[in-house]
């Protein structure tokens, strides 16, 4: 069932124009269909703020569960914003205080670009901790992306993320390590997921704190893990929400940083993302940018349209399926004793057995 356009958020209209079924408030009042209210904490920097909002709403709206989804976007203090983004937030976003009063069934948390050596020094650290602590006691499950994963495991378990020798970014093959977990029902292995990060939480660190690793890759490390109770916190170090051009946009930003002197070296290509046809476009572009920088000329234009024609999104279907499984479980467990762990021998295809297991009976 579809997303419900319960506010004037422009993303609802955009997704509708892209072919997604979106219901208006009046279409839901006379239907005996359950609702889920999902908070969406958007911490992304301005350049990716609206795109990330659209990407995660797409994943929720792609669910085939017989549920109406109400997504409530909000943000917190501590992330530097330009005037246009602040106007957008003030117009279309709600506040955390309002959501604490009204309540949520689930919460999606995004990452952001940290500016300090440790997360505790970030201006958003304390407001984010308040959200995490509240959600841990008041929502059925949290779906945490990238830096949000690192922040939660530091805040809750004092696990320190580690700086990678080089940035992990590209599209990587992932293998399921626990095919019986309900989050991975009907998911084929291996599958691909984009990653993009300079820091990492390793499988060894997570396992030592009682987390279960559900999906990981040889090149990329852990993609998906769950908290010791097996469902309340779902951690994604990868980015199933990405569009096919997301890594291209990031590549472009890093090239600009190199040209303007914000980074010393020209960025490496995202791994397993550019094919041979793209390489033929990138190689002369790289030489042209380097030459223009050396002699003080204007930065050459990246041939984005040509590159985009060769790109493929090989991860979207799997991301949609995982989110569908997650939302189905949230619905099943919202009115149960959600904090008890899974028991051995549960049949993930039997939701009643799942409820019984979570109740500890």
**Sign of dihedral through CA atoms 354, 228, 213, 248?**
positive
Structure tokens at 348: 């993930």
- Determine the distance from the C-alpha atom of residue 205 to the mean position of all C-alpha atoms in its chain, rounded to a whole number: 21
Burial (0-12, 13-18, 19+ Cβ within 10 Å), 57:
buried
CA 358, CA 129: separation in Å to the nearest integer? 27
Active-site choice (72, 146, 192, 195): 146
Structure tokens at 327: 């939302």
Active-site choice (241, 250, 254, 320): 241
Ramachandran category for residue 47: left, alpha or beta (phi over 0 → left; psi -120 to 50 → alpha): alpha
Q: 62 phi and psi, to 5 degrees? A: -85, -5
Residues sharing a CB contact under 8 Å with residue 232, sequence separation 6 or more, in sequence order:
136, 140, 141, 142, 338, 339
Active-site choice (239, 250, 320, 331): 239
Task: State the residue for tokens 């319960």.
Answer: 6
Is 239 part of the annotated catalytic residue set? yes
CA 81, CA 46: separation in Å to the nearest integer? 6
Which residues participate in catalysis according to the annotation?
146, 239, 241
């Amino acid at each position: 069932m579809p997303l419900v356009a319960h506010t004037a958020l422009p993303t609802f209209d955009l997704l509708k124009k892209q072919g997604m079924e979106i219901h208006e408030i009046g279409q839901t009042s006379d239907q005996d269909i359950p609702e889920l209210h999902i908070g969406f904490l958007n911490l992304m920097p301005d350049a990716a703020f609206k795109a990330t909002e659209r990407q995660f709403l797409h994943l929720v709206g792609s669910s085939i569960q017989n549920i109406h989804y109400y997504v409530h976007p909000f943000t917190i203090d501590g992330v530097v914003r330009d005037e246009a983004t602040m106007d957008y937030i003030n117009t279309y976003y709600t506040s955390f205080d309002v959501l604490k009063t009204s309540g949520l069934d689930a919460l999606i948390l995004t990452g952001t670009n940290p500016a300090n050596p440790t997360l505790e020094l970030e201006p958003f650290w304390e407001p984010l901790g308040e959200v995490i602590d509240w959600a841990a006691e008041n929502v059925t499950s949290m779906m945490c992306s990238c830096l949000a994963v690192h922040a939660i495991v530091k805040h809750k378990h004092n696990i320190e993320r580690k700086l990678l020798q080089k940035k992990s970014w590209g599209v990587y093959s992932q293998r399921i390590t626990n095919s019986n977990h309900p989050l991975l029902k009907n998911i084929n292995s291996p599958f691909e997921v984009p990653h993009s990060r300079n820091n990492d939480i390793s499988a060894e660190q997570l396992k030592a704190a009682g987390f279960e690793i559900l999906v990981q890759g040889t090149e990329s490390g852990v993609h998906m893990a769950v908290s010791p109770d097996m469902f309340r916190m779902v951690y994604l170090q990868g980015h199933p929400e990405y569009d096919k051009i997301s890594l291209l946009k990031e590549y472009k930003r890093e090239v600009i940083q190199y040209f303007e002197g914000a980074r010393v070296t020209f960025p490496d290509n995202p791994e397993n993302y550019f094919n041979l046809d793209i390489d033929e476009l990138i190689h002369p572009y790289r030489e042209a940018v380097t030459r223009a920088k050396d002699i003080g000329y204007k930065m050459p234009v990246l041939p984005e349209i040509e590159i985009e024609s060769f790109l493929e999104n090989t991860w979207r279907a799997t991301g949609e399926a995982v989110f569908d499984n997650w939302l189905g479980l949230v619905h099943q467990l919202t009115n149960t004793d959600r904090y008890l762990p899974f028991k051995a021998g549960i049949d993930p295809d039997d939701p009643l057995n799942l409820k019984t297991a979570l109740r500890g009976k």
